[in-house]
Amino acid sequence: MKTTPVAHPPLRGNQPHCQTCSLNALCLPLSLSDSDMERLDDIIRRGRPIQKGQLLFQQGDEFQSVFAVRTGALKTYTLASNGEEQITGFHLASELIGLAGYDAGNYPLTAKALETTTVCEIPIHQLESLTDELPDLRKQLMRTMGTEIRHDQNMMLLLSKKNAEERVASFLIDISNRYQRRGFSSSHFRLPMSRVDISNYLGLAVETISRVFTRFQKNELIDTQGKEVIILDMEKLYEMAGLVSEDECEHK
């Protein structure tokens, strides 16, 4: 049975507009003028929070909007014919979600809140009209789609070529980099998803995830306190993942 997105009419009140939102530099092109920013702000719907476990949209629903995560986190997944869930991604604040439905006209994934989450809903038809008039906004949307494609390609490589430790190390680095782009600590952050979700996403058994985390702690690569993760040796983590840090790239 299909569901409709958990969206409501715009609620202004004390909710931040694009100009005052702390995430606008990540979601939007910096070159937009104040008047253009206001035009974008006028089409955005800011609904009530989505509670943990609630769906934002469901696989097969008509594609009507893209969403910018303002607070909280969501996971996206597909359902196999036997009802088994396969997680395809996790989405944090400032990231767009729903673009995958653009080509077919239906969402190919289901999006579920991992915790209490707020989103900005952007109706696609209004967004298309606005991007025709604002080239900088169109460029930002294209960059976002390109980033998603590159990230998906990297994850395909991760799941097909790496062992368990390399997968977990790569996953932690990916989350670390995404928090850093938001202006938060890259070495101390909270994982909003469960170990079960992580195991599903990485294609590993839950027991394997637990053993790898324990091994990483024993080797003083990380420390964990519940869902809090503290990275103690970022360089070693990059080495284990077979990745090159941004700092190393800059010095080459």
**What domains does the chain contain, in order, with CATH numbers?**
24-154 (2.60.120.10), 163-250 (1.10.10.10)
Asked if residue 67 lies in contact with residue 102, where contact means CB atoms within 8 angstroms, the answer is no
Q: Model confidence at 149, in pLDDT bands (50, 70, 90)?
A: confident
Q: What is the mean pLDDT of the chain?
A: 84
5 pLDDT tier (thresholds 50, 70, 90): very low
57-66, 130-139, 212-221: segment of lowest average pLDDT: 130-139
Quick one: which of 136, 84, 97, 83 has its CA closest to 7? 97
Residue 112 pLDDT: 98
pLDDT at 161 over 70: yes
Q: Please tell me the distance from the alpha carbon of residue 146 to that of residue 229, in angstroms, as a whole number.
A: 29
* Separation between Cα atoms, residue 105 and residue 96, nearest integer Å: 17
Per-residue pLDDT band at 27 (split at 50, 70, 90): low
Cα 70 from chain centroid (whole Å): 11
Percent of the chain exceeding pLDDT 90 equals: 51
Query: For residues 110-140, b (16+ Cβ closer than 10 Å) or e, as one string?
Result: bbbbbbebbbbbbebebbeebbeebeebbeb
Residue type, 32: L
Contact predicate 58/110, CB 8 Å: yes
* Mean pLDDT computed over 214-241: 95
84 or 55, which is more confident: 55
195-202 and 206-218 are packed helices; what angle lies between their axes, rounded to 10 degrees? 100
For the ranges 98-102, 108-112, 159-163, the lowest mean pLDDT is seen at 159-163
pTM value is: 0.82
pLDDT at 46 over 50: yes
Secondary structure (3-state) at 137: helix
pLDDT at 235: 96
